[in-house]
Amino acid sequence: MEIKVDVYSNKMVLSSEERTLTAEPSEPFSTDRLLIGNLPVAKKCLEKAVQDFGAISFLKVSPTIIIQPHEFIEGGLSEVEESLLSKIAHYAGAKEVRVVAE
């Protein structure tokens, strides 16, 4: 299964060919300067969203996640930002992650 994750301030939108799911955290993960300023909250939000999406279960193969930030991207993504996005997708159970920085 391939899941696209669009990341906005305090919101993630997961989509595949079959469905779309919007996930909002119980507390903010974005700050005034950073799209993901609170890593534990962002990880928990994406992990729960992937589970609610039905992509992770005992008998299913881990999904491929394509993650794309849509805010705070002026001048492109730094290595640290790309690494952070990749890490939260892996924490959520992805077998493969692609970060899209457009």
Domain boundaries, the chain: 2-99
Residue the block writes with tokens 């991207």: 73
Q: Identify the pLDDT of residue 101.
A: 86
Cα–Cα separations (whole angstroms), residue 25 to 49, 67, 78, 88:
10, 17, 24, 14
Mean pLDDT, rounded, of the chain: 92
Q: Identify the pLDDT of residue 58.
A: 56
* 2-45 tens-digit pLDDT: 999 999 999 999 999 889 999 999 999 999 999 999 999 999 99
Residue 60 has pLDDT above 70, yes or no: no
Residue 79 has pLDDT above 90, yes or no: yes
Q: Identify the pLDDT of residue 102.
A: 74
The topology (CATH level 3) of 2-99 is Nucleotidyltransferase; domain 5 (3.30.420)
pTM assigned to the model? 0.90
